[in-house]
Every structure is written in structure tokens, then in C-alpha cells.
Amino acid sequence: MKVVWENKGGLGDDKEVPHLVYISREKRPKYLHHYKTGAMNFLLRVSGLMTNAPYMLNVDCDMYVNEPDVVRQAMCVFLQNSKNSNHCAFVQFPQNFYDSCTNELAVLQSYLGRGVAGIQGPFYIGSGCFHTRRVMYGLSSDDIEDNGNLSSVATREFLAEDSLVKRYGSSKELVQSVVDALQRKSNPQKSLENLIEEAQQVGHCHYEYQTSWGNFGWLYDSVAEDINTSIGIHLRGWTSSFISPDPPAFVGSTPSLGLEAIVQQRRWSTGAIEVLFNQQSPLSGMFRRKIKFRQRLAYFWALMCIRSIPELVYCLLPAYCLLHNSALFPKGPCLGIIVTLLGMHCLYSLWQFMRLGFSVKSWYVAQSIWRIIATGSWLFSIQDIILKLLGISKIGFIVAKKTMPDKPTQGEDDGPKSDLRKFEFDSSHHFIPGTFILFVNLAALAIFFVGQQRSSCSHGGGGSGLAEACGCILVIMLFLPFLKGLFEHGKYGIPFSTLSKAVFLTVLFVVVSLGI
């Protein structure tokens, strides 16, 4: 821990530089670190000793502040003169990326973020978020009076000496800072150098044992600490606010389009499914009154990464029907209804993209990438959860590596991005499902068009036809990066080991479908 710069001049001088403290968290093999969540709780304790500021900004290391007025914008929400001003727990800004190859996240934040903001507030998404310290110390909305002070019940529950030590640990300085924060008392100016020893004490990896850390602050029991903590805050009755300024408040970098993006999505989806089985689950929240019903539905939608199994089935169904000579779609007017509904859905999602200024190509890339993610990283996250529930293995925090492309020049990051990067491959097993899906649909089309399937089918008009063939073509179009990977070399080509495994699975699928 090192005090790089200490602001001894106090507030009021626009030219005065704030405190700047470098902190490195202690880690030991025999102690749980709780990954990013443990680091955030460590920062929460140390900042409580150093400044005890009532508001905190969380920004990931791969993002930067793009709007200098962002703090004022958040404070306008926290400090507004309204009856419910004390009920806002955090202010979330959307995540924007200067090197994004797909704009699906921007569209989701624009529509879903604003929609959920009208219920009980947006989700905490891990970065670009202002938090209130009192809420992170475990207060519920019922613990606050209309004037912002602690209620009598909360005073007895939180400020009792035994309760403070049990909740927050044995550090007297930290306990005193918690009491001051809960009571909204200003923190007297102290020399930061004098607090380093105490800050190192609360930073020891064994400090949290026999305390309640992890049940408040940033919550444990999931590698998706953001969604887990967000549900915990809303379950306690708090609201949140969504601000989407122009230009964007925070801009960052994304992983390369390939393994790193898939690994990141696997961690997110695994953590989301973990939430379904812990204390913050929307399922158990159905019996709590402090979170609104529609807010529970919104969280349940965000956690439904298990839809990877239906997506995988949908990608294989047209090929299976062609090979088995069975009808997937109804004939006659019913087929027209299905095509109409599918067309309306595609046009609506395309309208969402174009309304935000994105191109048709960007929409197509987004549909392709998210089908690849759903049948790849999300599928393996279900495997991770099953192994965890069976006690076979634990879930680890896999860090996604990110490249550092040239940052855009002034004005380039003001609009939609046109740089759609190429998909990268390696020998990872994450690419086997996508390659397998591509081969199965190509094989089904080949067998269908050369007439091998028709020659072995029984007489009758109930078999597969052009509709199922169009379904296979649609799947191939969605997995176009894998088709291109068959003809590329180096990191843009699919390795032989992945191809061989996918071919084996394809032959097995074709044999089973044909009934040979």
C-alpha cells in the first residue's frame, strides 16, 4: 500500500488533485480470495478508512472515463430533493466499447436498460457504476427514515457493539468509519500515512473470517459478482438509476473475437446460473415483497443462459429432419404463419439496430456471434454448474485476455463502429460445437440435394422438403465464421484437431439420423 499523492489542501480548489493511493491485495494459497468480489470488498474497507466518502465509483481497468462531467451527473441523482432520493442505491452508466465487433450489447442496454430502469432500476453490470457506501454496508430501504437517518430498529441492529464486530471485523478504526458512514457523519481530515498500518490489517486475507463480509458489500457465491450483488441490493428494497449520456460516460476495450470472447461469456453465464441456486435467486425472491414482480422477471430473463440447450436443438433440428425425412414445419397456411412471425421478429430486431444508427451488417454479425456464444460458451457453463452441484469440481474465475488496438481518434468514437473484426480460432474445445453444427447442416443439405435421402424414404407426402432445407441454410449463414474458418489459415482457420472431432460427431449424428 502506497500513498502516491495526498490532498492536504482539502476541498474547494479546482486545481487540487484528489488523493491517489495504490493498493495491492494480499493473497495466500490456503485462503479464498473471492476473485473480483473479494478485491472490491477489500477496496470498500480500505477506502472507508482513508476517506469514508459516501459515494464510490467502480470502473474496470480496461475502461476509461470519456465524459468529464460524469460525477456531477451521478450526484444529481443521489442528491436530488425528492422523497425517494434516499432510496437510490446506485447509478449505472451503460458500457460502450471503441473496438466492439458486435453491437448487440449496446442495443440490449439501450432497450432493456431503459425498460428495467422504469421498474425498480437497472442492473449493476460491473463497471461504470456509482455506489452508495451505506447500502454496501448492508442497509435495507426500510432501515432509512424519510429524512435519511437510521430508523430506531436499524440503530439497535447495526450500531450495537457486538453486531459491529461480528459484521465488519475487529478493526476499531474500520468499525468507527462504518458507524460514521451509517450515521452520515463527515470524515475528519487525517493524514493518510497514519492509516496505512490499519489499512493493511483490514487487507489481510484472513480478516474476513468470522465476519459477515460477502453477505453485504459485493456478494460472494458467484463469479458474476455484478448481477449477484445487484439482485441482493434490489431484494433489500432499494432502487437504482440509469443514465445514458451523449457522449458516452465510459468507454472500454473488448476481448478479441474468438476464444477470449467465448471464455468471457462462459464466465458470465456460469456466474449467472450460479445465482439461480444461491440466496439471491429470483426464484426465492418471488416470496419477498421488497423486489417488484416485474423486476424479478427481468432478472430471470437475464439469468436464463440455460437456453443454450434449446438453441443447440434448434440448430440441429432442420438437419435431423432432412436426414430422417420427417417434417419440421407444417404445410400450407400454417407454414406461412410461421414464416411471417419469424420475418416480423427479424425485422423488429433489425429496426432496433438501425434506430440506434447501426448497419444491417452489424445486425447480422450480432445475430451470428450470439448464436455461436449460445451454443458454445453458454453450453459449457451448464457443464460447469452440473460438475459443481455434483461436487466434482469447483468453478474458477477465468480472466479473458484483451488486445489493445489503437484507440480511436477524436470524433471516431461518437458513432457506431464499422470495424468488424475477423473471428479467431485455436484448438480449444469451445469451437467443437460450432464446427459440429456447421458440418451437420452441410451434410444434411448435401444428402438432400443429391437425392440419397429421398431414394431411401417411404412413399408419402409427409416427409421433409424445401422448408427444412431453408432452415439448414439459415443455420449455416448464422455460423458463417466457421464456414470461412474452413478455408483460412493460421489463427483465422479451424485447427485440424477441432475438425477431426467435429467430423467424428457429425458422422455419428448422420448415422443415428438415417437409422443405419
Instruction: Write out 132-180 in H/E/C secondary structure.
Output: EHHHHCCCCHHHECCCCCECHHHHHHHCCHHHHHHHHCCCHHHHHHHHH
pLDDT at 418: 41
The DSSP 8-state label assigned to residue 17 in this structure reads: -
pLDDT at 195: 86
Closest listed residue to residue 417, CA positions, set 245, 253, 249, 264? 253
Residue identified by cell 439471491 is 280
pLDDT at 312: 93
The answer to whether the CB of 251 falls within 8 A of the CB of 98 is: yes
What is the pLDDT averaged over residues 410-429? 61
Give, to the nearest 10 degrees, the angle between helix 35-50 and helix 172-182: 80
C-alpha cell at 88: 437510490
The pLDDT mean for the chain works out to 85
pLDDT at 285 over 70: no
Tell me the sheet residues that pair with 239: 88
pLDDT at 180 over 60: yes
What is the pLDDT averaged over residues 115-129? 92
What is the pLDDT averaged over residues 447-473? 69
Q: Please report, as a single letter, which amino acid is at residue 160.
A: A
Query: Between 131 and 110, where is the model more confident?
Result: 131
C-alpha cell at 467: 422448408
- One DSSP character per residue, 356-404 reads TT--HHHHHHHHHHHHHHHHTHHHHHHHHHHHHHTTS-PPP-PPPP---
What is the pLDDT averaged over residues 323-327? 86
pLDDT at 154 over 50: yes
pLDDT at 452 over 80: no
What's the pLDDT tens digit per position in 353-407? Answer: 999 888 898 899 889 988 999 998 888 888 888 888 787 777 765 665 655 555 5
What's the pLDDT tens digit per position in 205-226? Answer: 899 988 999 999 999 988 888 9
pLDDT at 396: 63
Known binding-site residues for Mn(2+) equal 36, 60
The answer to whether the CB of 52 falls within 8 A of the CB of 38 is: no
pLDDT at 417 over 80: no
| Distance, CA of 404 to CA of 62 (rounded, Å) | 9
Mean pLDDT is lowest, of 148-162, 232-246, 434-448, for: 148-162
| Distance, CA of 204 to CA of 279 (rounded, Å) | 27
pLDDT at 109 over 50: yes
pLDDT at 128: 94
Q: Which of the four pLDDT bands, split at 50, 70 and 90, describes residue 99? A: confident
Q: In what order do the strands lie in the sheet with 239-242?
A: 55-58, 129-132, 88-92, 239-242
What's the pLDDT tens digit per position in 330-347? Answer: 877 888 898 899 899 999
What's the pLDDT tens digit per position in 69-94? Answer: 999 999 999 988 654 556 899 999 99
pLDDT at 33 over 70: yes
What is the pLDDT averaged over residues 449-461? 55
The answer to whether the CB of 1 falls within 8 A of the CB of 24 is: yes
Closest listed residue to residue 177, CA positions, set 90, 148, 168? 168
| Distance, CA of 239 to CA of 78 (rounded, Å) | 11
Known binding-site residues equal 36, 60
Q: What share of the chain is helix, strand, coil (3-state, %, to 5)?
A: 55, 5, 40
pLDDT at 292: 87
pLDDT at 30 over 90: no
The answer to whether the CB of 257 falls within 8 A of the CB of 424 is: yes
pLDDT at 14: 66
Mean pLDDT is lowest, of 255-259, 273-277, 331-335, 484-488, for: 255-259
